[in-house]
């Protein structure tokens, strides 16, 4: 391994540490509740390393679906899975399809009239 490749490897190793999925979900729900909104687990996934999908409902029939993505250096961000706000039925259908691919998946629904995601990472 040359020095250049070793540095690239170290950059990847210094990426954002991964928090256990179950801990992340419980902390997120608490954060939402403290802010005066509601959140609940629609589907429990793998406690250690399950992926997380957020369904943010503005309580007007529209929902934003966010799924976790990692950048080239391992940094976490959230992608708008359906390109933005959509109908609740379409969001639920998409989430059901994802569960069929990944049985370890967590789905958390946040009900907030302001449409807040309550995550610190960028939403892309």
Q: What is the pLDDT of residues 57-77, one digit of tens each?
A: 999 999 999 999 988 888 889
Structure tokens at 80: 């708008």
Q: What is the pLDDT of residues 74-113, one digit of tens each?
A: 888 999 999 999 999 999 999 999 999 998 999 999 999 9
Spatial separation of the C-alpha atoms in residues 34 and 11, rounded to whole Å:
35
Distances 66 to 8, 46, 51, 93, 124 between C-alpha atoms, Å: 29, 18, 11, 14, 9
* Domains within the chain, CATH numbers bracketed: 3-111 (3.40.1530.20)
Spatial separation of the C-alpha atoms in residues 70 and 77, rounded to whole Å:
6
- pTM summary value: 0.82
Structure tokens at 2: 């040359």
Q: Are 32 and 38 in contact (CB under 8 A)?
A: yes
Q: Are 17 and 75 in contact (CB under 8 A)?
A: no
Q: What is the pLDDT of residues 5-25, one digit of tens each?
A: 444 444 444 444 567 889 999
């Amino acid at each position: 391994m040359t020095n250049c490749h070793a540095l690239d490897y170290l950059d990847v190793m210094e990426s954002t540490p991964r928090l256990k999925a179950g801990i992340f979900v419980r902390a997120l729900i608490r954060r939402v509740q403290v802010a005066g909104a509601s959140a609940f687990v629609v589907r429990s996934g793998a406690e250690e390393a399950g992926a997380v999908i957020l369904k943010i409902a503005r309580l007007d029939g529209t929902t934003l679906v966010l799924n976790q993505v990692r950048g080239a250096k391992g940094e976490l961000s959230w992608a708008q899975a359906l390109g933005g706000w959509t109908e609740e039925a379409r969001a639920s259908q998409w989430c059901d399809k994802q569960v069929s691919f990944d049985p370890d998946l967590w789905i958390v629904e946040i009900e907030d009239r302001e449409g807040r995601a309550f995550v610190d990472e960028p939403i892309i």
